[in-house]
Amino acid sequence: MKKFNDIITKILYGLIVINFGVLIIACVLQVFTRFVLNSSLSWTEELARYTFIWSNMLGAILCTKNNSNAKVAIITDNVSIEKRKLLSKICNIISIIIGIIIAVYGVRVAMAVKTQLTPALRISNFFVFVSAPIFGILLVFYSIYDIYKDLINDHERS
């Protein structure tokens, strides 16, 4: 399972780098054409918006993987280690449930809009909305993996 996790993580890092690269290029191109050439391109703003959506989804998954999501420290800092572990498992179970819901309904939405084209880029809206089910699937995967790591660590300590 660790090897599969490492492969998914490398792919995730690569996609984030590509996404941010495209986002930066689209924004620079938009600014250059608007202010230097006095004629902005119609598709760069839309491309930047969609790559921003993807970057946020992939970045949120990376935070889940690295266990760096926002937390209420006053709760976690004031409980014992055993309760902290239990709280972590509960949060992971809730994340799995939320991930499944996002994946299921995200697929429904993505399939519902697959025939609609974006205004400027003229690509299927499916490619924009499929970010939600991918987010949900990866959220489930990393939450399960976190529970798995905790169980392995608990087993090794005992």
pLDDT at residue 79, as a whole number: 87
**Rounded to whole angstroms, what are the CA distances from 137 to 10, 38, 93, 127?**
16, 43, 14, 16
Distance of CA 131 to the CA centre of its chain: 8
pLDDT at residue 70, as a whole number: 77
* All structural domains of the chain with their residue ranges: 2-157
Task: Give yes or no for residue 9 having a pLDDT over 90.
Answer: yes
How far is it, in rounded angstroms, from Cα 93 to Cα 57? 20
Higher pLDDT, 6 or 156: 6
The three-state secondary structure class of 49 is helix
Amino acid at 93: I
Report DSSP state, residue 125.
T
How far is it, in rounded angstroms, from Cα 58 to Cα 50? 12
Tell me the per-residue pLDDT of 50-69, one tens digit each, with 9 for 90 and over: 999 999 999 999 999 998 88
pTM of the model: 0.90
> For the residues 30-54, what does the mean pLDDT come to?
94
Helices (H) and strands (E) in the chain, counts: 6, 0
Q: What percentage of the chain has pLDDT greater than the value 70?
A: 99
Comparing CA positions, the residue from 71, 156, 138 lying closest to residue 102 is: 138
pLDDT at residue 138, as a whole number: 97
